[in-house]
Chain A
Amino acid sequence: MNLALLRADLTAISGEQYVREHPVDRHIYGQTPLLAVAPGSLEELAQTVARLAAEPVAIVPWGGGTQQTWGRPPARPFVVVETSRLNRILDYTPDDLTISVEAGMTLGALSAALAANGQMLPFDCPLPAQATIGGLLATAMDGPRRLGYGSARDLLIGIRVVEATGRISKAGGMVVKNVSGFDMMKLYLGSFGTLAIIASANFKLIPQPRAAASILCRAATPAPLWKLINAIAASQLVPVAVEYLEGFDVAGAPCAVAVRSEGLPAAVERHVRDVTAFAQQAGVSAEPLRDAAHEQLWNAINDAPQTATLAADEVVVRVTCLPADLSNAIAAARAAAQRANLPLQVTARALNGVAYLRVRGSAEALREWHAALLKAAPQTMLLAAPPALIAELPAFGTHIANLDLMRRIKQEFDPADLLNPGRFVVGQVA
């Protein structure tokens, strides 16, 4: 590879100041990219990819960089393609409750633009000031309010991508209901940038609620809180989030459940009353939180699974299981942590069967903890680990079905395995 020539060609596309050689601030588990390039438009992005494909050299798409520890590190020397300059709103008619934005826009910037019109995209991801829309979609990151409003899977209505060859294609549209052609949004969502680079996305928006409040229920042990969670699930209440918390300092107790209600004022007050009553029946305390206290609690919960800043001995995982199995999976994680005296933090979408766990310890202790957890929750995904462990721990759990079919899809969309090689379940296919 002639790096100087590649650099010159990329500079011709995006401009001198947007091409950097060996940028250490773009490393992934200690691997520094050959180059980092930040195209300024869809066309520049497409030309950049076409040029890199012609080399050919591996490509790692990069949004805010908050989730680059997810999955496996790159399998080959790579060039980082950043979306940071693709950060514009492309189309927004507030009264349609839809928006089209470029992939490099941060969720925070998008939320601010929407709030000005009394609207929201309730993705609740960690570090919204840094995390980009493209990155959230590529990883299918979820948030506590998926319970009430759905996740990106339900709110993404259109997409434009740059494929591995530099071709631009789109799917979906700017309407909330659409079966015109295949649902390619579902294909790219959560595909870790292994099929194409997301350039822009269209969303169905949610009006901001007229009222909101939380009920924070605290306990010394998990059991009564799961009783409370089951009571909420069996009721006809419609909370937008029910988050189980353990080892989470902000909650002010060893274990807690945070329930979030949004909607008309009378409906919110009804939730506060009923959840408080359920909590009393379950024998746990219940404190209503409003305004700033309510916001602060949820900002902390949203940030809890972040992987941008890690301790040197820290592992972060996402457990996914059927909702009724979640308390057992968390119990297994707790028991394994207690055996080795490891501090464990849990934030769990209790009614969705999704939990984010953080644990710290020696490499040996973390290895044992992870193995014990995998036995109880085989669909556990590794979001971050110390560099010494990342290569050996199963990144996507021990239960990956339909791998042949997934590899055929990867082969069709990226036969040269240029996009994020090695990172995803499909591994290296070239």
Chain B
Amino acid sequence: MNRAELIAELERILGPRGVVATPDALLTYDADGCVMDTHEPHVVALPTSAEQVAAIVRLAARAGMPIVPRGAGTGLSGGATPMQGGIVISTARMDKILQVDTANGRVLCQPGVINWELSQYLKPFGYQFAPDPSSQKACTVGGNIANNSGGPHCLKYGITASHVLAVQVVLPDGSIVWTGDGSAHTPGYDLTGVITGSEGTIGFVTAAWLRLTRLPEAVRVVLALFPDIAGASNTVSQVIASGLLPAALEIMDRLAIKAVNDMYKLGLPEAAGAALLIEVDGVEDGLDELLHDVTAICWRNGAIDVRPARTLAEQNQVWAARKNAFGAMGRLAPTYYLVDTVVPRTKLPQTMDEVGRISREFRLPIANVFHAGDGNLHPIILFDRRDRSQNQRALEAATGVMKVSIDFGGVISGEHGIGVEKQDYMTLLFTTDDLAAMAGLHQSFDPHDLFNPGKVFPKGRGCGELAALRRSGVAWSALKSS
């Protein structure tokens, strides 16, 4: 099938408005938020229904072409980048909230619904969709499901996987299936659970039943300022260890404070080395006691100021600063590389020391804005991409952060995913046998590697090869003779 035939077939399925094929337009689909690797798709499809997605998948199989799912393209690991070309399937036109079912605590959505818009829509019902990535004003729930995304409020409410009750997916064979209806124990294997976070490699989510979370009766936000990041990190470790359960614990360091100060008029003293955003929520009763205890830990760790955000407007301003901090980085450097790793929470202070050391070693400033309560770091390496030396040092600094995180017992991604960005670092964390088990799961869904190929698994270690290795098993005779 040549390109013209492919486009004609797609237009037959989707209508002319559902196909993007002009060279200029295709350029905008050559990467997501991770711009280290880029590649243009052959064509972009904009379906409006699961049936259209299924038809595209069957067409792609006939054309021998991969498909690459894409939500808003805010991902940071290259998950939506068509590294082998093929058909990018965008969910931009699948953006309907279909049913709010408060009696069963669930909402039915198409994948292209914007995370923020979903929570705004649910507010009058008294509910929210709890996962709240910093990119929530742009990112889609389909992307959240694909990456099992996090966000500040994961600390209390859990990751996306805990909020996806069932999904409708198009499988690589072109079939459309529901993994459940949102009830608690669907008979058989947990297909909802394995599809969530599989980065679009085993199924294309075309609808989802998501969990509704009741809005809390009361919320308190305070911002604690520290002379250095060690004080803030130690506070977080001690708050967690003390058994208090805040809704969010977020740290911004000196560089980040500087960036957001200008933009959001927070008036934070730029002498402060770190700001710790603390949110507690729940029923009104007891909340002041909780906040008092958390604040006491701040003071014990050398806080220089603890500022309550008294009004809703003040709370929103603090949160806007936190969630838009990445955007404010443009004020500090032409380019930044946002690294996402996780460490056990007691290792946070030492890890932050190491991040400082890496910044000095590679002579690049690193800002930090992160989900401290979960031990989820986000060192932001500031550099100029046009400078080849800086480019190289930024990559090496990122590798350094990953290695340090693993050395402290952590992992290489907490919420951004592996995609292309980190696929070659998977071997730092997993043995060949570990990867082979994941490949086995992949093969049972997508034996022909049609969905988002060349992602997650290390380059040069195809799923087929890894799965074959796993099937070969362990020979008892070899064990016996050894």
Q: Are B413 and A180 in touch, CB under 8 angstroms?
A: yes
Known: A177-B374, A179-B414, A191-B189. A405 touches B444 (CB 8 A): yes
Q: Are B473 and A177 in touch, CB under 8 angstroms?
A: no
Interface residues of A in 138-172 (CB under 8 A from B): 140, 142, 150, 153-154, 161, 163-171
Known: A166-B476, A181-B429. A264 touches B289 (CB 8 A): yes
Q: Is B407 part of the contact surface with A, judged by Cβ < 8 Å?
A: no
Q: How far is the CB of A108 from chain B (nearest CB, A)?
A: 21
Interface residues of A in 249-274 (CB under 8 A from B): 263-271
Q: Are B187 and A397 in touch, CB under 8 angstroms?
A: yes
Q: Are B438 and A184 in touch, CB under 8 angstroms?
A: yes
Q: Which residues of A contact B193 (CB under 8 A)?
A: 153, 183, 185-187, 189
Interface residues of A in 352-367 (CB under 8 A from B): 352-354
Q: With the chains together, A238 CA to B473 CA distance in Å?
A: 48
Q: With the chains together, A94 CA to B346 CA distance in Å?
A: 9
Q: How far is the CB of A367 from chain B (nearest CB, A)?
A: 20
Q: Are A182 and B456 in touch, CB under 8 angstroms?
A: yes
Q: Which residues of A contact B376 (CB under 8 A)?
A: 177
Q: With the chains together, A397 CA to B187 CA distance in Å?
A: 8
Q: Are A182 and B197 in touch, CB under 8 angstroms?
A: yes
Binds A, one of B43-51, B178-186, B225-233, B312-320: B178-186
Contact of B345 among A95, A119, A266, A379 (CB under 8 A): A95
Interface residues of B in 137-172 (CB under 8 A from A): 147-148, 150, 154, 158-159, 161-162, 171
Q: Which residues of B contact A181 (CB under 8 A)?
A: 418, 426, 429-430, 434-435, 438, 456
Q: With the chains together, A177 CA to B376 CA distance in Å?
A: 7
Q: Which residue of chain B lies nearest to A12 when distances are taken between CB atoms in the complex?
A: B480
Q: How far is the CB of B223 from chain A (nearest CB, A)?
A: 22
Q: With the chains together, A396 CA to B444 CA distance in Å?
A: 23
Q: Which residues of A contact B96 (CB under 8 A)?
A: none
Q: Which residues of B contact A413 (CB under 8 A)?
A: 440, 444
Q: Is B174 part of the contact surface with A, judged by Cβ < 8 Å?
A: no
Q: With the chains together, A207 CA to B183 CA distance in Å?
A: 28
Q: Is A50 part of the contact surface with B, judged by Cβ < 8 Å?
A: yes
Q: Are B344 and A174 in touch, CB under 8 angstroms?
A: yes
Total B residues in contact with A, Cβ cutoff 8 Å: 101
Q: Is B268 part of the contact surface with A, judged by Cβ < 8 Å?
A: no
Q: With the chains together, A415 CA to B139 CA distance in Å?
A: 40
Q: How far is the CB of B74 from chain A (nearest CB, A)?
A: 15
Q: Which residue of chain A lies nearest to B217 when distances are taken between CB atoms in the complex?
A: A236
Q: Which residue of chain B lies nearest to A395 when distances are taken between CB atoms in the complex?
A: B187
Q: Is B188 part of the contact surface with A, judged by Cβ < 8 Å?
A: yes
Q: Are B237 and A95 in touch, CB under 8 angstroms?
A: yes
Q: Which residues of B contact A263 (CB under 8 A)?
A: 282, 286
Interface residues of A in 51-81 (CB under 8 A from B): 51, 53-54
Q: Are B343 and A187 in touch, CB under 8 angstroms?
A: no
Q: Are A270 and B285 in touch, CB under 8 angstroms?
A: yes
Q: Are B345 and A182 in touch, CB under 8 angstroms?
A: no
Q: Which residues of A contact B286 (CB under 8 A)?
A: 263-268, 270
Q: Are A190 and B190 in touch, CB under 8 angstroms?
A: yes
Q: Which residue of chain B lies nearest to A153 when distances are taken between CB atoms in the complex?
A: B193
Contact of A175 among B216, B414, B456 (CB under 8 A): B414
Q: Is B297 part of the contact surface with A, judged by Cβ < 8 Å?
A: no
Q: With the chains together, A45 CA to B154 CA distance in Å?
A: 36
How many CB-defined contacts (below 8 Å) exist between A and B? 292
Contact of A401 among B178, B429, B437, B479 (CB under 8 A): B178
Interface residues of B in 167-213 (CB under 8 A from A): 171, 177-194, 196-198
Known: A97-B345, A189-B190, A263-B286. A322 touches B182 (CB 8 A): yes
Q: Which residues of B contact A119 (CB under 8 A)?
A: 243
Interface residues of A in 323-382 (CB under 8 A from B): 323-324, 349, 351-354, 379, 381
Q: Is B417 part of the contact surface with A, judged by Cβ < 8 Å?
A: yes
Contact of B416 among A53, A179, A397 (CB under 8 A): A179
Per-residue CB proximity of B467-482 to A under 8 Å, as 1/0?
Answer: 1001111111101100
Known: A354-B184, A381-B187. A182 touches B198 (CB 8 A): yes
Q: Which residues of A contact B245 (CB under 8 A)?
A: 207
Residue with the greatest number of chain A CB neighbours at <10 A, chosen from B179, B193, B216, B476: B476
Q: Which residues of B contact A168 (CB under 8 A)?
A: 433
Q: Which residue of chain B lies nearest to A187 when distances are taken between CB atoms in the complex?
A: B194
Residue with the greatest number of chain B CB neighbours at <10 A, chosen from A93, A187, A208, A396: A187
Q: Are A175 and B283 in touch, CB under 8 angstroms?
A: no
Q: How far is the CB of B480 from chain A (nearest CB, A)?
A: 8
Q: How far is the CB of A332 from chain B (nearest CB, A)?
A: 16
Q: Is A199 part of the contact surface with B, judged by Cβ < 8 Å?
A: no
Q: Which residues of A contact B180 (CB under 8 A)?
A: 401
Q: Which residue of chain B lies nearest to A166 when distances are taken between CB atoms in the complex?
A: B474
Q: Which residue of chain B lies nearest to A161 when distances are taken between CB atoms in the complex?
A: B437
Q: Is A406 part of the contact surface with B, judged by Cβ < 8 Å?
A: yes
Q: With the chains together, A189 CA to B472 CA distance in Å?
A: 24
Q: Are B479 and A352 in touch, CB under 8 angstroms?
A: no
Q: Which residue of chain A lies nearest to B192 when distances are taken between CB atoms in the complex?
A: A186
Q: Is B415 part of the contact surface with A, judged by Cβ < 8 Å?
A: yes
Q: Are B437 and A171 in touch, CB under 8 angstroms?
A: yes
Q: Which residue of chain A lies nearest to B162 when distances are taken between CB atoms in the complex?
A: A154
Q: With the chains together, A93 CA to B192 CA distance in Å?
A: 31
Q: Are B476 and A50 in touch, CB under 8 angstroms?
A: yes
Contact of A93 among B216, B346, B430, B473 (CB under 8 A): B346
Q: With the chains together, A321 CA to B182 CA distance in Å?
A: 8
Q: How far is the CB of A173 from chain B (nearest CB, A)?
A: 5
Q: Are B444 and A408 in touch, CB under 8 angstroms?
A: yes
Known: A178-B414, A184-B441, A270-B285. A353 touches B184 (CB 8 A): yes
Residue with the greatest number of chain B CB neighbours at <10 A, chosen from A179, A406, A425: A179
Q: With the chains together, A101 CA to B466 CA distance in Å?
A: 28
Q: How far is the CB of A58 from chain B (nearest CB, A)?
A: 16
Q: Is A403 part of the contact surface with B, judged by Cβ < 8 Å?
A: yes
Per-residue CB proximity of A392-424 to B under 8 Å, as 1/0?
Answer: 000011011111011011011101000000001
Per-residue CB proximity of B354-371 to A under 8 Å, as 1/0?
Answer: 000000000000000001
Q: With the chains together, A180 CA to B405 CA distance in Å?
A: 13
Q: With the chains together, A166 CA to B477 CA distance in Å?
A: 12
Q: Are A179 and B415 in touch, CB under 8 angstroms?
A: yes
Q: Are A169 and B431 in touch, CB under 8 angstroms?
A: yes
Q: Which residues of B contact A425 (CB under 8 A)?
A: 187-188
Known: A174-B409, A181-B429. A186 touches B194 (CB 8 A): yes
Q: With the chains together, A127 CA to B435 CA distance in Å?
A: 36
Q: Is A320 part of the contact surface with B, judged by Cβ < 8 Å?
A: yes
Q: With the chains together, A93 CA to B408 CA distance in Å?
A: 13
Per-residue CB proximity of B314-351 to A under 8 Å, as 1/0?
Answer: 00000000000000000000000000001111100000
Per-residue CB proximity of A100-128 to B under 8 Å, as 1/0?
Answer: 00000000000000000011000000000
Q: With the chains together, A235 CA to B214 CA distance in Å?
A: 9
Contact of A411 among B161, B282, B444, B476 (CB under 8 A): B444
Cβ contacts A to B, 13 pairs, < 8 Å = A53-B473, A97-B240, A153-B162, A164-B473, A165-B474, A170-B431, A175-B374, A182-B194, A210-B243, A236-B126, A402-B191, A405-B445, A413-B444
Q: A187-B194, A405-B445 are in contact. List 19 more A-B contacts (CB 8 A).
A: A50-B474, A54-B477, A167-B437, A177-B415, A180-B418, A180-B426, A181-B429, A182-B198, A183-B194, A186-B193, A187-B189, A190-B185, A207-B244, A236-B126, A265-B289, A267-B285, A354-B185, A379-B185, A402-B188
Nearest 7 A/B pairs, CB to CB: A186-B193, A165-B473, A207-B243, A264-B286, A54-B476, A266-B286, A267-B286
